Structure 1
Amino acid sequence: MTLDQLPLGTPARIASVDWSALVAEEAQRLRALGLDEGARVTLAYRGVFMGRDPLAVEIGRMTVAIRRVHARAMHVEPFDRGAAA
């Protein structure tokens, strides 16, 4: 499952990122924000208009807005509710 498909409020771990699907500068920015393999994330919000952009992703104590195309490059593994704590 990719990050853009993750149900809202579901904690997950980024299992892999298809960096080749992203522009190099965008990939560098996402890495600098901590959105890389192994990071724990939660999808907090989806935009309401046509493309449903932006997506708000919680990572640690930070909330980051990213485009859906970026989220599609990130494969995630949801946590069991008990294991996320």
Structure 2
Amino acid sequence: MNLTGGIVLFASLWFLTLFCVMPIGQRSQADAGEVIPGTHAGAPSGINWRRKLIWTTAITSAMWAVLAWIILGGVITRADISNLDQWIR
């Protein structure tokens, strides 16, 4: 894995993790009791973006470190992946 591959892997994992973290702890405007006129009652209310982004970055960093160790450490090689069909039989 080169530098570009590492950055692309991190960015892909970061956005995937962000979409998984966003709904956690989310409250709707109906739950908060303050529905803004012209919006749906199920619209989010008071999202703490800083906290979600920090959690997203922390989780992604841990996943990326494990995947980088697997790739760079030779735990799983390209030869292992190309011979994967022999394991299934």
Q: TM-score, normalised by structure 1?
A: 0.23
Q: Which has the higher strand share?
A: 1
Larger radius of gyration: 2
- In the superposition, the TM-score normalised over structure 2's length comes to 0.22
Structure with greater helix share of residues: 2
User: Relative CO higher for 1 or 2, CA cutoff 8 Å, sep ≥ 6?
Assistant: 1
